[in-house]
């Protein structure tokens, strides 16, 4: 890992000792020695973006003094930005040898003594960068392939909604990162910024934002960079940019930059090593130098020399423009290596989805002249058959990627054009993904920003509303790691309608937080006449049996695979008036790669306590509480809208209901039942009755009255069977 300290870059061999003033004892955390005891104020604060982030993140901690001793290999950041200890892997041919050095400094860290996990988070920041992901895969030496997707900002409200639906499905296949483009002339600047924030923090994928110089004075560039930095985003694709609409040539804006090289230099000068910077490479030559379909050799060599300048200025990775002749790409890679460019060069693959789009895109990029004749010959007889063109595009893309991978290159970047089928089909053909086996590192998807990098515990109550949970915890300074009790955050964000609006061209585009397609499904499936509470029972039962695809209490699409294990039991208790909104079956040592309940990768075993959460009337709750006395393994929490709480556990009894055992790791317990969080969650759960379901009906509709009666009188109940081996959670409902 790497650390920027006092504006210098330090490489992998990192030993850090933190001395707290006036203290005698120390505790060791990894390679960091964390002192304990009381301290005094210090007066010296170091510089550098990592420490700036630390002070901002930990702003609510009490003031302490630390002395930091760093013993590492020093690399002069003015001469080299690479992070390899091995000189032969360095991105510069003239990279200097590292020099052992010890740095000692004092600084103020605002916080308490329990800052170990945040310090380690800080030291793992570099792993969030694209370059680190590529290096990690390369170092694994197991033929791992790094793949990624590119998207562009849609022009319409429906387009934004559809894009995020596709992202959710595609990100489930674990791409290393996804990027979002910056419209010509900066036309989508605001939308791009909003989308990349949502990608990183809600879709939960490592995200890279395109940033261009077109129509962008330095103030606007810095605004974009500070915005994404504050949202934990570390990756930028630095581009000069295309001319604005209606113009043929790029024109430098007053107070802006003339080229991508200037942008790269500015980012490194102003932000140090915080950002991972990617730049564009052109296997056939930049469009500006292409004449009659080809780039003159002298211009091509000049283009390569300029690319090297971008790398020498601080770029970590090169992603290429689209191409359809793999030999040209491989020649380009070799040409780059010959002039000393050693950073990863990622091939940009654009599947052919339809003939007209293919001709338009290759014309825009001026790549028509170097399309292999066999490609054009294959397309000509089928050009009016879109399905046949798409099938050929998948075949061509697959064969191109096979040849690239056979050459030893282990990275692929797919230009999706916001279409998922072709990109996923190519990856499936290569054996890189399996539609039926989607792995999960945790039962829930963690935001891909630096502030939540170690988060691995959540209350189960938001299992079906993960975006709501992220929204309500986005301001936390620490996120639970290892156990829920480590969290110092008792405060959740305010209960608001957390749909977000993004603004472009003075009009609001509804973001995916509350997509209209979901509202439409709810309208179709849930806005039916309700004459009595029994009609409500029927709706809940239908959802549990898979007859409905939507639920007001879920952001997800339909039943989750593990729910199908117990859906008949759920249907039965819903008909009895126990209206379920969240559940999981008991699991005793299932393999961690199980397609229904697995998570955490291969080689482990996962466990779950049976859990069900539901609304019920006071009368049914009384009967249930009485029955629970016959089942000592059951624990419950029950609360009504007003906050009247009934329980057979104390408020401090946090119950781990999901955990996993993995080789050479501590036990991981990603979901818990936390009584304090349950009381917070109940406001949201009750509010959904009126804010979501009742709002599907006209104001005077009598169905609203039925819904409001349930909301005002029922209890929300959380029920756990702690016997995950021999227990039977549903037995308690049999005689009620």
* CB distance 147 to 174 below 8 Å: no
Q: Strand 26-29 and strand 15-20: pairing?
A: unpaired
* CB distance 676 to 579 below 8 Å: no
The closest alpha carbon to 379, from 403, 352, 400, 402, belongs to 352
Active site residue 699: no
In degrees, rounded to 5, the angle at the alpha carbon of residue 301 between the alpha carbons of residues 299 and 307 is 105
Instruction: Give the separation between CA 68 and CA 84, rounded to whole angstroms.
Output: 24
In degrees, rounded to 5, the angle at the alpha carbon of residue 724 between the alpha carbons of residues 723 and 730 is 80
Cα 149 from chain centre: 13
For 162, residues 6+ apart whose C-beta sits below 8 A from its C-beta are 154, 418, 517
The DSSP symbol for 212 reads: E
- Rounded to a whole number of angstroms, the CA Rg of the chain reads 28
Instruction: Give the separation between CA 54 and CA 118, rounded to whole angstroms.
Output: 8
Cα 340 from chain centre: 34
DSSP conformation letters of 687-704: HHIIIIIGGGS-TT-HHH
Residue in 4, 65, 132, 150 annotated catalytic: 150
Contacts 24+ apart (CB under 8 A), 566-573: 566/610, 566/730, 569/730, 570/544, 570/612, 571/541, 571/544, 571/545, 572/730, 572/733, 573/612, 573/614, 573/730, 573/733
Instruction: Give the separation between CA 97 and CA 93, rounded to whole angstroms.
Output: 11
Instruction: Give the separation between CA 602 and CA 581, rounded to whole angstroms.
Output: 30
* CB distance 468 to 514 below 8 Å: no
- Tokens representing 219 are 């103030």
Instruction: Find tokens 């003939």 and name the residue.
Output: 355
- Tokens representing 24 are 């005698």
Number of residues that this document lists for the chain: 736
* CB distance 511 to 160 below 8 Å: yes
For 221, residues 6+ apart whose C-beta sits below 8 A from its C-beta are 211, 213, 256, 257, 263, 266
DSSP conformation letters of 554-584: -SSSS--GGGGGSHHHHHHHHHTT-EEEEEE
Instruction: Find tokens 């804006």 and name the residue.
Output: 253
Instruction: Give the separation between CA 493 and CA 68, rounded to whole angstroms.
Output: 35
3-state secondary structure of 441: coil
Element (H, E) at 53: helix 49-57
Instruction: Give the separation between CA 672 and CA 445, rounded to whole angstroms.
Output: 16
Instruction: Find tokens 């040539």 and name the residue.
Output: 249
3-state secondary structure of 35: strand
Instruction: Give the separation between CA 261 and CA 313, rounded to whole angstroms.
Output: 7
- For 118, what's the count of Cα atoms within 13 Å in the CB-facing half-sphere? 25
Instruction: Give the separation between CA 733 and CA 624, rounded to whole angstroms.
Output: 7
The catalytic residue positions are 150
């Amino acid at each position: 890992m790497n650390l920027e300290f006092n504006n210098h870059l330090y490489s992998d061999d990192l030993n850090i000792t933190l001395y707290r003033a006036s203290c005698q004892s120390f505790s060791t955390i990894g390679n960091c020695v964390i002192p304990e005891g009381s301290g005094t104020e210090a007066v010296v604060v170091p510089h550098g973006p990592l420490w700036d982030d630390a002070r901002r993140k930990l702003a609510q901690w009490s003031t302490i003094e630390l002395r930091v001793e760093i013993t590492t290999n020093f690399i002069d950041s003015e001469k080299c930005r690479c992070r390899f200890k091995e000189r032969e892997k360095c991105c510069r041919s003239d990279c200097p040898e590292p020099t052992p050095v010890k740095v000692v400094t004092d600084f103020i860290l605002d916080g308490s003594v329990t800052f170990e996990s945040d310090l380690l988070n800080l030291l793992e920041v570099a792993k969030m960068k694209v370059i680190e992901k590529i290096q990690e895969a390369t170092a694994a030496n197991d033929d791992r392939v790094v793949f990624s997707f590119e998207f562009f900002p849609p022009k319409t409200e429906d387009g934004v909604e559809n894009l995020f639906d596709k992202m959710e499905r595609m990100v489930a296949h674990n791409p290393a990162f996804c990027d979002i483009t910056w419209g010509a002339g900066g036309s989508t600047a605001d939308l791009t910024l909003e989308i990349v924030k949502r990608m990183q923090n809600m879709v939960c994928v490592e995200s890279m934002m395109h940033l261009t110089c077109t129509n962008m004075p330095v103030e606007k560039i810095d605004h974009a960079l500070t915005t994404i930095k504050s949202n934990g985003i570390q990756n930028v694709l630095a581009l000069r940019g295309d001319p604005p609409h209606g113009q043929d040539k790029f024109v430098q804006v007053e107070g802006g930059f003339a080229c991508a090289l200037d942008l790269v230099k500015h980012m490194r000068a102003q932000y140090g090593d915080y950002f991972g910077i990617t730049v564009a490479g052109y296997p056939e030559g930049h469009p500006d130098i292409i004449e009659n379909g080809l780039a003159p050799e002298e211009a091509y060599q000049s283009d390569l020399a300029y690319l090297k300048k971008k790398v020498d200025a601080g770029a970590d990775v090169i992603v290429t423009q689209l191409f359809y002749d793999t030999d040209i790409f491989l020649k380009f890679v070799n040409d780059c290596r010959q002039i000393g460019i050693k950073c990863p060069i990622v091939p940009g693959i654009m599947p052919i989805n339809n003939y007209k789009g293919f001709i338009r895109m290759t014309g825009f990029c001026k790549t028509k002249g170097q399309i292999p004749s066999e490609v054009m010959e294959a397309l000509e007889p089928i050009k009016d058959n879109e399905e046949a063109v798409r099938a050929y595009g998948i075949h061509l893309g697959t064969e191109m990627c096979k040849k690239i991978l056979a050459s030893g290159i282990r990275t692929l970047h797919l230009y999706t054009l916001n279409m998922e089928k072709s990109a996923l089909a190519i990856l499936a053909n290569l054996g890189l993904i399996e539609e039926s086996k989607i792995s999960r590192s945790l039962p829930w998807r963690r935001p891909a920003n630096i502030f939540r990098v170690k988060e691995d515990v959540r209350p189960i109550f938001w299992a079906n509303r993960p975006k709501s949970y992220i929204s309500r915890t986005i301001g936390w300074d620490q996120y639970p790691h290892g156990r829920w009790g480590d969290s110092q955050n008792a405060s959740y964000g305010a209960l608001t309608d957390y749909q977000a609006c993004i603004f472009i061209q003075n009009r609001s585009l509804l973001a995916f937080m509350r997509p209209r397609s979901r509202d439409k499904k709810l309208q179709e499936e849930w806005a039916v006449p309700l004459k009595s509470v029994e009609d409500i029972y029927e709706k809940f039962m239908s959802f549990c049996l898979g007859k409905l695809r939507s639920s007001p209490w879920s952001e997800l699409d339909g039943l989750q695979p593990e729910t199908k294990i117990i859906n008949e039991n759920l249907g039965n208790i819903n008909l009895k008036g126990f209206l379920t909104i969240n559940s999981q079956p008991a699991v005793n040592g299932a393999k961690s790669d199980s397609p229904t309940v697995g998570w955490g990768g291969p080689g482990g075993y996962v466990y779950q306590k049976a859990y069900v959460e539901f609304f019920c009337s006071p009368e049914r709750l009384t009967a249930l509480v009485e029955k629970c006395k016959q089942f000592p393994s059951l624990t419950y929490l029950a609360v009504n809208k007003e906050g009247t709480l009934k329980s057979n556990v104390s408020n401090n009894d946090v119950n781990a209901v999901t955990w996993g055992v993995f080789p050479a790791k501590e036990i991981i317990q990603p979901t818990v039942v936390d009584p304090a969080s349950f009381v917070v969650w109940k406001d949201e759960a009750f509010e959904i009755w009126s804010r979501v379901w009742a709002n599907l009906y006209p104001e005077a509709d009598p169905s609203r009255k039925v819904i409001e009666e349930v909301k005002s009188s029922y209890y929300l109940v959380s029920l756990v069977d702690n016997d995950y081996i021999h227990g039977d959670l549903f037995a308690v409902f049999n005689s009620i």
